[in-house]
Structure 1
Amino acid sequence: MDEVRVVVAHSERTTLRVGDMFLKVDADQARIDVEAEAMALAPVPTPAVLWRKPHVLAVAALPGTALGRLGEPSPASSAAWARAGAVIRTLHEAPLPARTGRSVDDWAAELESECGLLLARGMLPADLVDRNRRVAEAALRPWEPAFIHGDLQITHVFVDGDDEVTGIIDWSEAARGDALFDLATLTIGHEERLGDVLAGYGTDVDPDVIRGWWSLRALTAYRWLTEHGFDPAAPGCELEVLRAAM
């Protein structure tokens, strides 16, 4: 009998693995709908949708392994990271999805709010917040909307060897947005791999904008992670990213 394994669980979403199937149980039906529709539209490898019912999405497991994990050296080669960059470029050049993501103004407002809460609750030192807030400003500029994954963590990209991306998982945040946000999310905690990703991506990218997104993402996620049972101070995670900002 296949055992049931909890992959991730918090008050908004729980993901279970049963054999070669993942069950995503989400409090927000809209996220389930967005995920299924994005996978149908994306011109890149995605898990097969097995079935969908209210608040539950069942998808097949992907072959291969994730590019890596936060806090650990990535076992994937430079060629595999570059191939991931090329696949992401294909996504970003695809026709736009209907869902509109957060605007520059939305991000600026969230940054201001989260920094205020981090300071008011004493969750991070003031100098660390202030320094990263200045770095984050580089990401807050006009951008041409692209089809973005929206949560392109290193564990969401699966590869097999050096030359094949077997799939990208977890599409509930897919929308129109800044392509560089995806690139920053993929490389956060593995900044040494940015050059490989950009070599595969194949266009000029301002590294200061990527660094801005690293700081912005870490600042805006820190409180949520803490309050939902995650540890942003774990190796390779948000606190380390914030301390590394120059």
Structure 2
Amino acid sequence: MGEVEVVVAHHERTTLRVGDVFLKIDADQERADVEVEAMSMAPIPTPDVLWRKPPVLALAALKGAALSRLGQPSTSSSAAWEAAGAAARTLHNAPLPPWPGRSTDEFATELDHECEWLAVNDVLPGDVITRNRRIAETALRPWTPAFVHGDLQVAHVFVDQDEITGVLDWSEACQGDALFDLALLTLGHQEHLGDVAAGYGTEVDLDVIRAWWSMKNLRAIRWLVEHGFDPSPEVALLTSVL
């Protein structure tokens, strides 16, 4: 038995690693149900489910390492980023999962609430909030629903020798905007947006991707603060927007 490593822990769920096994403890069993079913439906590599005894889900460790980390320089090659884009395209072309995602109205309402909280609590300068909110609103347009991962951040995509070995954390999978996934994948790593787009293999609207970057960061800060995480990377990205 190896040491127990706390991978992530907050009020909603905790993930532990013991040797080559990840143990996910989730208080929301509906969310855990979505994760298991989404992995079974996804046409791209996912972790093997070893066993499940609610509220615990045991998953096999993936080969390789995360594509990158938010707030850290990427050491992955352009080929690895292209492979991530190709995997996203394969997922988005798959049959839709049964769970609807947020509507544009729901995103708009959440954006209102988060921007108000950021202003009232003096988390960001008013001009930074206004500028990013204006950019974020570009994402609030009709889209053709796709099978999206919903949390396709770089830490959830594992690669080995420029090949995708698996994608983690499917609890947010749903019908949604494909560009939302691409935005999360390239958040904080805009220098690899061209690589991801090349791997994706079809034209993408860069303005909408930039809009989802701002939307994601504006929506994330309060959750991070309330769950004991440092929102510095998100704050830095918002303040860097011109």
**Normalising TM by the smaller chain, what interval?**
over 0.9
The gaps in structure 1 that reach 5 residues or longer are: none
Q: CA deviation at 1:244?
A: 2.0
Q: CA deviation at 1:135?
A: 0.6
Task: Tell me the equivalent position of 1:146.
Answer: 146
For 1:207 and 1:100, locate their aligned partners in 2 and report how far apart those are by CA, in whole Å.
25
For 1:95 and 1:244, locate their aligned partners in 2 and report how far apart those are by CA, in whole Å.
38
Instruction: Name the amino acid aligned to 2:157.
Output: V
Task: Tell me the equivalent position of 2:231.
Answer: 232
Task: Tell me the equivalent position of 2:215.
Answer: 216
Task: Tell me the equivalent position of 1:241.
Answer: 237
For 1:137 and 1:56, locate their aligned partners in 2 and report how far apart those are by CA, in whole Å.
38
For 2:145 and 2:19, locate their aligned partners in 1 and report how far apart those are by CA, in whole Å.
38
Task: Tell me the equivalent position of 1:25.
Answer: 25
For 1:141 and 1:93, locate their aligned partners in 2 and report how far apart those are by CA, in whole Å.
20
The gaps in structure 2 that reach 5 residues or longer are: none
Pair 1:82 & 2:82 matched:
yes
For 1:182 and 1:53, locate their aligned partners in 2 and report how far apart those are by CA, in whole Å.
30
For 2:113 and 2:69, locate their aligned partners in 1 and report how far apart those are by CA, in whole Å.
29
TM-score w.r.t. the length of structure 1 is 0.97
RMSD, matched Cα: 0.8
Q: CA deviation at 1:123?
A: 1.6
Task: Tell me the equivalent position of 1:196.
Answer: 195
Percent of counterpart pairs with the same letter? Answer: 67
For 2:57 and 2:93, locate their aligned partners in 1 and report how far apart those are by CA, in whole Å.
27
TM-score w.r.t. the length of structure 2 is 0.98
CA offsets 1:10-67 (integer angstroms, 9 cap, x no match): 0001000011000000111111100000000000000000111222111000001111
Determine helix, strand or coil for the equivalent of 1:166.
strand
Aligned residues: 242
Determine helix, strand or coil for the equivalent of 2:59.
strand
Contact 1:93–1:147 (8 Å) recurs in 2 = yes
For 1:245 and 1:77, locate their aligned partners in 2 and report how far apart those are by CA, in whole Å.
26
Structure 1: which 4+ aligned runs deviate by more than 6 Å?
none
Determine helix, strand or coil for the equivalent of 1:135.
helix
Contact 1:50–1:58 (8 Å) recurs in 2 = yes
